[in-house]
Structure 1
Amino acid sequence: MSGYRLGPDDLIKISVLNEPNLSIEARLSDAGTVSYPFLGEIHIKGKTPGEVERLITDGLRGAYLVDPKVNVSVLEYRKYYIGGQVKHPGAYPYQPGLTVGKAVALAGGFGELASRDIVILREDDPAQPQLEADVMTPVHPGDVITVEESFF
């Protein structure tokens, strides 16, 4: 996912070319940090994998390595949540390309009292924390989807 911003509970892999002791898999803490050899606890919440690559490259360059080649990849995205009028509300693993319609299907489909009103709370967009959605709306990791109840 281009431009993806890391957050708590993402599982990432950091690898350094020809340096197996510096290659790790780590899950971001609730504070958005990971513990990395030589650099200690680093805060990466809200950063893209590319920004983390540069941060670690800069930290290792000079004192530890001459020209480190760092790669950061997301192995597992944080979960999204779906509730309200779906058959199996709960937390589900995020998959790239996920839409509200697919999320509803993974949650067992719409409940008997489901309305067409669907709301998403986006943790990664404080400017627009609540979004009216339809089945084609993209879902982001960490989103909270609510399928409202029909009153007739």
Structure 2
Amino acid sequence: MPVILKIIGFLFAFLLLDPLLAGEDDESYQVAPGDVLTIRVFGEPDLSFNEIPINPNGILSFPLIGDVEVAGLSTKTIEKEIERRLADGYLKKPIVTVSIKRFRNIYIRGEVKRPGAYPYEKGLTVEKAISMAGGLTPRASKSAITLKREKGQKEIDADMQTPLRPGDIVTIGQSFF
């Protein structure tokens, strides 16, 4: 019986420590300014942070190792970079976990009652974002919806069921009638 409890305990701890399995993060997601990370260095509470923001330049300031350029990197790549730098004269075999604490905002503008920035949540669609913004104005068009994903990319047509990603900008156009 005690062996089963140890196995269950190990699996539970593994799920809590692995953000991909816990559903908190996606290995293909690239962090960007505005994201907030959680960083844990095993056995080093002074080097572990519950909330550490990525600054507007895409840089993360970390004790002992200084600034780390993280914009465009996955959490796994960030883990390896911090481990590499900590192993270079500070710790023997650092074990680092990085997860997304809070994603950057999405933005909704145009014919909604409360345009502005809103926190991104997994599963967010254009329709849900409109609800967060108080709904459509009487002049809004349900078909004139555009979406801009990344800086420099063109706006694309969207509909109510279009899934959103962190940093997306949604524009609701006016109806002609």
| TM-score, L = length of structure 2 | 0.80
Structure showing greater Rg: 2
Query: C-alpha distance in 2, partners of 1:147/1:47?
Result: 31
| TM-score, L = length of structure 1 | 0.93
Q: How does 1:32-111 map to 2 (within 5 A)?
A: 32-111=58-137
Q: Which structure exhibits the higher relative contact order, with contacts defined as CA atoms closer than 8 Å and separated by 6 or more residues?
A: 1
| Residue aligned with 1:4, SS | coil
Q: What is the match of residue 8 of structure 1?
A: 33
Q: Which letter maps to 2:120? A: Y
Deviations 1:88-122 (A, max 9, x none): 11110111111111001111111111111110111
2:163 aligned with 1:117: no
Deviation at 1:46, TM superposition (A): 0.9
Task: Give 1 or 2: higher strand fraction.
Answer: 1
User: 4+ residue stretches of structure 1 with deviation over 6 A?
Assistant: none
Q: Which letter maps to 2:136? A: F
Query: C-alpha distance in 2, partners of 1:28/1:131?
Result: 28
Query: C-alpha distance in 2, partners of 1:6/1:62?
Result: 24
Gaps spanning 5+ residues in structure 2: where?
A: 1-24
Aligned residues: 150
Root-mean-square deviation (Å) = 1.3
| Residue aligned with 1:13, SS | strand
Q: Which letter maps to 2:99? A: S
Deviation at 1:38, TM superposition (A): 1.4
Query: C-alpha distance in 1, partners of 2:136/2:74?
Result: 34
Q: Which letter maps to 1:145? A: V
Gaps spanning 5+ residues in structure 1: where?
A: none
2:172 aligned with 1:139: no
Identical-residue share of aligned pairs (%): 41
Query: C-alpha distance in 1, partners of 2:93/2:155?
Result: 44
